[in-house]
Amino acid sequence: MAYADAAHANLPSGASQGGILVLLAGEERTAPIIWQSKKVSRVTKSPFAAETLVQADGADSGVLVATMAAEIFNLGSVKVECRTDSESLIEHLQTSHVIEDSRLRVDIARLKEMIEIGEIKMTWVPNEEQLADPMTKSGASSLKLIETLQGGRL
């Protein structure tokens, strides 16, 4: 599972903060494999753009972990479930609407292709279920993240 979240233009420079958490989820337990909180790779014009950039990075990280786990444990193919709280990202991934920002268009196309070939599944979660939220916003509750990490369960 790959959780990714962004806080648009919340840094003093006007840049956005992004957070990614990739969990290896078994039948009974989950374990964090990759986690990061950092400035988004480029300044964005909207929350949608920031969420898209971070989600693309999160999907890539999730696929990397799934590929390594499949090889180590001889599992065959493993699908990554990407979780986002961005309704606009989910809507853009389900439509053929052309995005005006050419750089963002590439990231959306890449996510759509990953969905089409079965590498990832994109799922919307409410904000309180977004485990990466406290990695991007100073006032966000980290209770759900702490419970998940301590208990090893989603």
- pLDDT for the residue numbered 87: 97
Which residues, including other chains, have CB under 8 Å from residue 37's CB and lie 6 or more apart?
Answer: 17, 18, 19, 20, 135, 136
* Per-residue pLDDT reduced to its tens digit, 96-145: 888 888 889 999 999 999 999 999 999 999 999 999 999 999 889 999 99
Q: How many CA atoms lie within 13 A of 98 on its CB side?
A: 2
List of domains in the chain? 2-151 (3.30.420.10)
